[in-house]
Amino acid sequence: MKQINSKRIVWIIIATVIAFAVGLKLGALVANSQKLQVKAATIFEKPRVISPFKLQTTAAKEFTQKDLLGHWTLMFFGFTNCPDICPTTLSILNQVYQTVEKKGIKPPQVVFVSVDPGRDHLDKLASYVPYFNPNFIGATGAPNELKSLAQQLGVMYQRIDDPKLTPEQQKKSYLVDHSGTIVVFNPQGQYFAVFSMPHQAPEIAQDMINITQHYE
C-alpha cells in the first residue's frame, strides 16, 4: 500500500512536470503570437543607451535626458527655413499625435530639434513649432551638443552655402541638408527605434499605438 502510494506520487510529480513544461511551451507560443508588430519602424534588437545631452527649449528651460523619462518620445531634426520636408514632417507628426490620442492612448512627446541654432533662436522656435501642434516642443542647442546628440542617433546635417552670394548675404541665406528620420525614445530614455523616409502618418500612428500598448 505504501509502495503504491509513493509510485503514485512519482507519477503525479512526472505528470505535473510534463503539464508545466507543456504549459510553458504553450505560453511561449501565445507570447510569440503577441509579438510586437510594426510596419514602418525599425526597432533595435537592444535599445541603445545614449550619453547625456543638453538642449534648450526656451531661454529658461533645458531639455535633457530626464525629459525623455516616463513616456515615449518622437524626435525630428530640421530647421525652420525649410519650406518642404520640415513642415510636411511636423504635420505628419501632428496627425500621428492626434490618431494615437483618439485611440485613448497617451500620445508620444514630440520634439523638433533645430540644427540651425544660428538662425533658429529660441523665441522663433517657440512661435514656429506650436503652429503644428500646441503640445510639440521646439529645441536647439550649442553646436557641439547638437552634433554629439545627432551623431549618437545617426542623424546627419550639413550647412550648404550659396557661393554666388556675398559673405553678408550668406550669413542669412543658406540651406541645411538634414536626415529625414524620426527618432523614437522609449520611456527609459533609450534610443529605441527609427522611422525612415518616406513618412506615412497612418503607419507611424499604428506603430506607435502597437509599441505603446506592447510595453504597457
Partner 1 sequence: MNLARFITVLFFSSFLTAYAAVKEDITVSNAYVRATPPGKTMTAAFLKLENTSDQEHRLIAVDSSAAGTTELHQTVNEQGLLKMRPVTEMTIAAHSTQELQPGGYHIMLVDLKQPLKIGQTIPLTLSFASGEKLTLKIPVKSVIADVDNQ
Q: List binders of partner 1 among 5-64 (CB under 8 A).
A: none
> Should residue 105 be labelled a site residue for partner 1 when binding is judged by CB under 8 A?
no
Answer for which of 69, 197, 214, 215 binds partner 1 (CB under 8 A) is: 197
C-alpha 208/C-alpha 172 separation (Å) is: 38
Told to check if 156 binds partner 1 by CB under 8 A, we report yes
Among 56, 57, 73, 80, binds partner 1 (CB under 8 A): 80
Give the separation between CA 125 and CA 92, rounded to whole angstroms: 18
Cell matching residue 45: 534588437
91 binds partner 1 (CB under 8 A): yes
Nearer to partner 1, 135 or 173 (CB): 173
User: d(Cα 49, Cα 152) in Å, to the nearest integer?
Assistant: 9
Under 8 Å between Cβ of 105 and 209: yes
Distance, CA of 215 to CA of 17 (rounded, Å): 31
The residue from 63, 76, 132, 136 that contacts partner 1 (CB under 8 A) is: 132
Among 43, 82, 105, 122, binds partner 1 (CB under 8 A): 82
Q: Yes or no: say if 132 and 45 are a contact pair by the CB < 8 Å rule.
A: no
End-to-end, the C-alpha distance of the chain in Å comes to 53
Chain residues binding partner 1 by CB under 8 A are: 80-85, 87-88, 90-92, 94-95, 124, 127-128, 131-132, 156, 158, 160, 173, 175, 177-181, 196-198, 200-201
